[in-house]
């Protein structure tokens, strides 16, 4: 089942790469990890966490690849690089 969130007209899209953390269920083997060459994998308990700099198009590509591989997506989070707060990156126009 697929769904799409409506776009907000008042928000400005930021196309610059951002640091993302993507958590999937299970431990990914070398073959599955090869589908995500720009991301750094870590095993965290029973999950695999992939971290990397992605622009919006690359993020959607990673998510599509995960769906194609049948991975169970648990979390996607934009991270705060080098101690910067995401709240201070307000991109809305006044």
**Mean pLDDT for the stretch of residues 44-58:** 96
Domain boundaries, the chain: 18-80
The candidate with the shortest Cα–Cα distance to 28, out of 81, 82, 65, is 65
CA 93 – CA 35 distance, rounded (Å): 37
Q: Which of 86, 90, 77, 76 lies closest to 10, judged by CA?
A: 90
Look at residue 80 in the predicted model and tell me its pLDDT. 86
Q: Using one digit for the tens of pLDDT, what is the confidence trace for 2-38?
A: 555 655 555 555 678 999 999 999 999 999 999 999 9
Separation of alpha carbons 50 and 58, rounded Å: 13
| Both tokens assigned to 21 | 């953390």
Q: Pick 18-80's CATH classification: 3.30.465, 3.30.450, 3.30.750, 3.30.70.
A: 3.30.70
Q: How far is residue 44's CA from residue 26's CA, in Å, rounded to a whole number?
A: 9
């Amino acid at each position: 089942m697929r769904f799409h969130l409506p776009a907000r007209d008042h928000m400005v899209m930021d196309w610059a790469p951002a640091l993302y953390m993507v958590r999937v269920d299970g431990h990914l083997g070398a073959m599955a990890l090869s589908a995500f060459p720009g991301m750094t994998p870590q095993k965290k308990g029973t999950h695999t966490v992939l971290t990397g700099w992605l622009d919006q198009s690359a993020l959607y590509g990673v998510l599509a690849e995960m769906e194609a591989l049948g991975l169970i997506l648990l979390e996607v989070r934009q991270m705060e690089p080098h101690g910067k707060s995401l709240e201070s990156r307000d991109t809305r126009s006044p």
